[in-house]
Amino acid sequence: MVTANIGKKILKMKDLKYLKLLSRSFPTISDATTEIINLEAILNLPKGTEHFLTDIHGEHEAFRHVLKNASGVIRKKVEMIFGHRLREQEKKEICSLIYYPQEKLDVIKQREGKDIDDWYKVILVQLISVCSNVSSKYTRSKVRKALPKEYSYIIQELLHESFAEPNKQEYISSIISTIVSTGRAEHFITAICNLIQRLTIDSLHVIGDVYDRGPGAHIIMDLLCNYHNFDIQWGNHDIVWMGAASGSEACMANVVRMSLRYANLKTLEEGYGINLMPLASFAMECYSDDPCSLFKPKLNEDEPVKNKDIKIISQMHKAITVIQFKLEGAVIERNKEFGMEDRRQLHMIDHKKGTVKINGVDYPLKDTNFPTIDPEHPYKLSEEEQDVVDKLMHYFLSSGKLKKHMRCMYNNGSLYLVRNSNLLYHGSVPLNEDGSLKRVRIGSEELCGKALFDKIDKLVRQAFFEERGKPGKTTGRDLIWYLWCGPYSPPFDKEKMATFERYFIADKETHKEKKGHYYYLKDNKEICEMILKEFGIEDAQSHIINGHIPVKTSKGESPIKAGGKLLVIDGGYSKAYQSETGIAGYTLIYNSHGLQLAQHQPFVTTAKAIRDGDDIISETTVVEFSNKRKLVRDTDIGAELQKQIDDLLHLVSAYRNGLIKEALL
């Protein structure tokens, strides 16, 4: 191969070809060195703040508030800036204005009346102080890109001039007075508040389970898809929706069943336009004389259900449950490698005796009315059931909103993420009893650890993006269903999902879902270090950040495990879990000073937060702290920027050594 000397470096011709391409963007030594100076400046800025949340489960109001208050970061900024100069109520008002500018302004305008212009002038100065603080860790270029175009010049002037300079006081006061006198104060305040929120958090990590339980998963997805920088590590409840959107009938039936179980129909019907009338008509006809008492929904205060609707929902719930068991039986039958034959229970029912055989034991059934199950062909859908499945599947595949949200989920998501020496995933890394990595069969391969996760990630994407009719699409769909409930699925990792037993068998011993070995070994520091090493992380300050496993804070359990190597931050966003956890969720903040864990109390309502300035009460624990601030150069982004600097240095050398000519005008 032809080479050329550049200083002490031997430059291969393929590298020279790359440098020639790079020279198109930086055609002169001056252009290249200027960019090097800019990149070096960025490397020496404090790292951006990362915000970690998990297991949101449709609780859109609480999620929206935590997103807006940045787990208390904005409140701390306001306290730091104004301290004792403002009363407590005034600081609360600034915070609630930043969180909900338009709604809070409506409240304040009624209160201030004719004096509103004076209030505008005071609050604008205060908001500029907050904005100046949160923007200080970014380059002017990055801040400029985040500015609303309409006010870009004005905000830049206000951010970079100071009231402390006598020559500038009148200039700044004039700008603010003009904003108010021209009737733009309200619009400008909203813009500056949104900018503060935008600059407070540099990146958001959602460690799984946006969907199910609560009423507003579609609202959460709207917020995420419009967020400036986020990623998601798919949880088992996200995956089952991804399967439904990919065309998996078994996943679709699970999604509908869970929505009916919790009487949570807003996401399906209002969010995604899924028409449940075919299922309702079938259920009312098929179970007209059946009270379906075992299938009464678990009611919640967020989505009240009229008494007259409970019976219909119960009938629909039973109908889709039976359909689900039939569809799942077919998936298991064509995927022997799943090792889930024990999950096929319909053929084990003795319809005459009213019993079912589980693990060789006959158990009496709590419900024996199965008009659509043919004992000779128990997994075959009736003609009417097939019609319901076809129609529901059509609605799922035709929903533009669902398709948009799932593309967002795929484009911004993955099964795991390595970021700044942290490993993020929802659920587990399957392990053997001795703590070694469990080999799991995926198609014709047996894989473990990182290779297993990478293979799954590829097949899950194939299920959604592959053309219809291709074998890879069916394989991917079935794998997604396995990820939802399979025994060695990383996001699930339990011996079984005891759905059938919980519905139809009274003996609670059959309801138990034995967890994988990971859940019992995760507190071991050596195990966590082994997992981190498997994913290429050997930094002394590395962590696993884990979702899926509710932390029972009320029973004294700590989210900080394995000597600080493992942080389990599922604390119960979902109201269904809060009686068990005793709190309403954990979030994690990773800024230039270290890691902070926030423990949140239940959120009341957005209306109360706006009206009274009430915030989520949070208790912060410092997990790691350093007096030496972590810089951009210490992050993954910093490593990428350093590579760019190295390339530019080689380009400058190539210019100076005459290997590449400058494009001088």
Query: Out of 71-75, 130-134, 572-576, which region has the weakest mean confidence (pLDDT)?
Result: 572-576
pLDDT at residue 547, as a whole number: 87
From the CB of residue 294, how many other CB atoms can be counted at a distance below 10 Å?
Answer: 15
Task: Report the percentage of the chain scoring pLDDT > 70.
Answer: 92
Confidence band, pLDDT 50/70/90 cuts, at residue 362: very high
Q: Is residue 581 scored above 90 in pLDDT?
A: no
- Kindly compute the dihedral angle of the four CA atoms of residues 322, 324, 326, 327, in this order, to the nearest 10 degrees: 160
Quote the CA–CA distance of 592 and 73 in Å, as a whole number.
13
Q: Which of 475, 440, 436 is nearest to 459 (CA)?
A: 475
Query: Out of 131-145, 209-223, 494-508, 600-614, which region has the weakest mean confidence (pLDDT)?
Result: 600-614
Q: Is the distance from CB of 570 to CB of 550 less than 8 angstroms?
A: yes
User: What is the pairing mode between strands 50-53 and 586-591?
Assistant: antiparallel
From the CB of residue 165, how many other CB atoms can be counted at a distance below 10 Å?
Answer: 10
- Give the mean model confidence (pLDDT) for residues 277-294: 95
Q: Is residue 7 scored above 50 in pLDDT?
A: no
Residue 295 in tokens? 């299938």
53: left (phi over 0), alpha (psi -120 to 50) or beta: beta
Residue-level length of the chain: 665
Residue position matching structure tokens 């799942």: 328
- Is 430 in a helix, a strand, or coil? coil
450 φ/ψ angles, rounded to the nearest 5 degrees: -60, -40
Q: Is residue 576 scored above 70 in pLDDT?
A: no
- Give the mean model confidence (pLDDT) for residues 57-75: 89
Q: CA angle 318-321-327, nearest 5°?
A: 145
pLDDT at residue 344, as a whole number: 96
Query: Out of 229-233, 239-243, 613-617, 645-649, which region has the weakest mean confidence (pLDDT)?
Result: 613-617
Q: Which of 397, 73, 430, 123 is nearest to 255 (CA)?
A: 397
Alpha-carbon dihedral sign for residues 469, 471, 476, 481: positive
Q: Is residue 3 scored above 60 in pLDDT?
A: no
Quote the CA–CA distance of 262 and 265 in Å, as a whole number.
8
Cβ burial, residue 80 (10 Å; 0-12/13-18/19+) = exposed
Query: Out of 260-264, 343-347, 432-436, which region has the weakest mean confidence (pLDDT)?
Result: 260-264
**Residue 546 C-alpha from the chain's centroid:** 12
Q: Is the distance from CB of 99 to CB of 65 less than 8 angstroms?
A: yes
pLDDT at residue 1, as a whole number: 43
- Give the mean model confidence (pLDDT) for residues 326-348: 95
pLDDT at residue 571, as a whole number: 59
- Give the mean model confidence (pLDDT) for residues 164-171: 72
- Give the mean model confidence (pLDDT) for residues 364-379: 96
Quote the CA–CA distance of 112 and 370 in Å, as a whole number.
66
Q: Is residue 9 scored above 60 in pLDDT?
A: no
Quote the CA–CA distance of 456 and 479 in Å, as a whole number.
8
What 8-state DSSP symbol labels residue 539? -
272 vs 65: which has the higher pLDDT: 272
Confidence band, pLDDT 50/70/90 cuts, at residue 5: low
Mean pLDDT of the chain: 90
- Give the mean model confidence (pLDDT) for residues 215-243: 96
User: What is the pairing mode between strands 586-591 and 594-600?
Assistant: antiparallel
pTM over cut 0.85 = yes
Q: Is the distance from CB of 236 to CB of 548 less than 8 angstroms?
A: yes
Quote the CA–CA distance of 21 and 203 in Å, as a whole number.
31
Quote the CA–CA distance of 596 and 617 in Å, as a whole number.
15
Query: Out of 452-466, 570-584, 616-630, which region has the weakest mean confidence (pLDDT)?
Result: 570-584
Q: Is residue 4 scored above 60 in pLDDT?
A: no
